[in-house]
């Protein structure tokens, strides 16, 4: 497929627009990627140039077009049991603390913010079920900006790539295989609720409150400092006092915010709202 040329000035306008709407900063080095991914959409819609495409996105008032743009610029890489050291700290250290603080009927709220295609919140569901928690004791939310990713998450049918790190015992217990696809069991699937939340949108972010643990992993890397500050301040507001924020192990809140107390638990940093 031949790409439609994306002039530098239009790339910059497109980049500003993407940044304004999602907080994602598209570096100059990613221009080719954007040109490549978006050319498909332009060809399909029989739009001859990127200037007309930008006008369509900005002025059509059509949310679907914006969603497709987000889908084209976001990286949805994820898989079950990613960054296992962190998950173990969640299960062995953080959960027992939260369980001991909760009284009787209080439900534990866990949020996988920027969950992509759902592997992360479903992993958390499997871990909580394996800890012997009753599904009535917890609520797990998965959110993302990308509707395409969320639709995949809701179907809960995965490729061998996604499940490659699932321990054999969990694989037998929580997945069935059909036509080389891995279908998550209903027992884990039904414990996760999905919603579209843009982490830098002041209104969107109010959808979840009183959360005990937030996983926001491998998304801040796509933001510049200003967007990181906005997103982390939003996440802070969503947490219960004493609640935890886990970001990707290659990410840091250094120079972003001092609002959280960093707890180092077996080399894993768990940020706490104090």
| Alpha-carbon radius of gyration of the chain | 20
Burial class (CB in 10 A: 0-12, 13-18, 19+), 53: buried
The residue from 23, 118, 142, 243 that contacts ligand SAM (CB under 6 A) is 23
Query: What residues from 195 to 214 belong to the interface with ligand SAM (CB under 6 A)?
Result: 198-200
Contacts of 141 (CB under 8 A, 6+ apart): 109, 110, 111, 112, 121, 192, 193, 194, 195, 208, 211
Indicate the residue among 108 and 199 with the shorter CB distance to ligand SAM. Answer: 199
The residue from 116, 162, 191, 232 that contacts ligand SAM (CB under 6 A) is 116
- Using CA atoms of 142, 143, 146, 150 in order, give the dihedral in degrees to the nearest 10: 30
Binding mask 46-85 toward ligand SAM (x if CB under 6 A, else -) reads ----------------------------xxxxx---x---
| Closest residue by beta carbon to ligand SAM | 78
Instruction: Pick the stretch among 109-117, 134-142, 156-164, 249-257 that binds ligand SAM (CB under 6 A).
Output: 109-117
**CA dist., res. 228 & res. 256, Å (int):** 7
CA angle, residues 195, 75, 228, in degrees to nearest 5: 75
CB of 243 to ligand SAM, least distance (A): 18
Binding mask 163-202 toward ligand SAM (x if CB under 6 A, else -) reads -----------------------------------xxx--
Structure tokens at 121: 């919140």
Q: What are phi and psi of 40, to 5 degrees?
A: -60, -45
User: What residues line the site for ligand SAM (CB under 6 A)?
Assistant: 22-24, 74-78, 82, 114-116, 120, 144-146, 149, 198-200, 217-219, 222, 248
């Amino acid at each position: 497929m031949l790409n439609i040329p994306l002039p530098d000035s239009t790339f910059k306008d497109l980049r500003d627009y993407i940044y304004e709407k999602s907080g994602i900063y598209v570096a100059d080095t990613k221009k080719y990627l954007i040109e490549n991914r978006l050319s498909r959409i332009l060809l399909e819609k029989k739009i001859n140039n990127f200037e007309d495409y930008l006008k369509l996105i900005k002025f059509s008032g059509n949310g679907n077009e914006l969603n497709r743009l987000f889908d084209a610029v976001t990286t949805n890489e994820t898989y079950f049991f990613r960054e296992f050291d962190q998950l173990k700290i969640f299960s062995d250290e953080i959960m027992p603390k939260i369980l001991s603080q909760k009284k009787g009927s209080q439900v534990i709220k866990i949020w996988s913010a920027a969950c992509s295609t759902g592997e992360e919140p479903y992993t958390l569901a499997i871990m909580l079920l394996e800890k012997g928690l009753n599904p009535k004791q917890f609520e797990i939310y998965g959110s993302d900006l990308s509707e395409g990713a969320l639709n995949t998450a809701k179907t809960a049918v995965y490729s061998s790539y996604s499940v490659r790190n699932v321990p054999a015992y969990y694989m037998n217990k929580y997945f069935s295989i059909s036509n080389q696809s891995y279908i998550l069991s209903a027992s884990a699937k039904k414990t996760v609720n999905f919603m579209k939340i843009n982490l830098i949108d002041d209104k969107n972010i109010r959808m979840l409150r009183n959360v005990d643990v937030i996983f926001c992993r491998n998304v801040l890397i796509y933001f510049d400092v200003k967007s990181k500050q906005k997103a982390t301040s939003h996440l802070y507001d969503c947490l219960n006092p004493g609640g935890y924020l886990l970001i990707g192990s290659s990410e840091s809140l250094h120079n972003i915010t001092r609002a959280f107390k960093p707890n180092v638990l077996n080399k894993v940093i768990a940020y706490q709202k104090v």
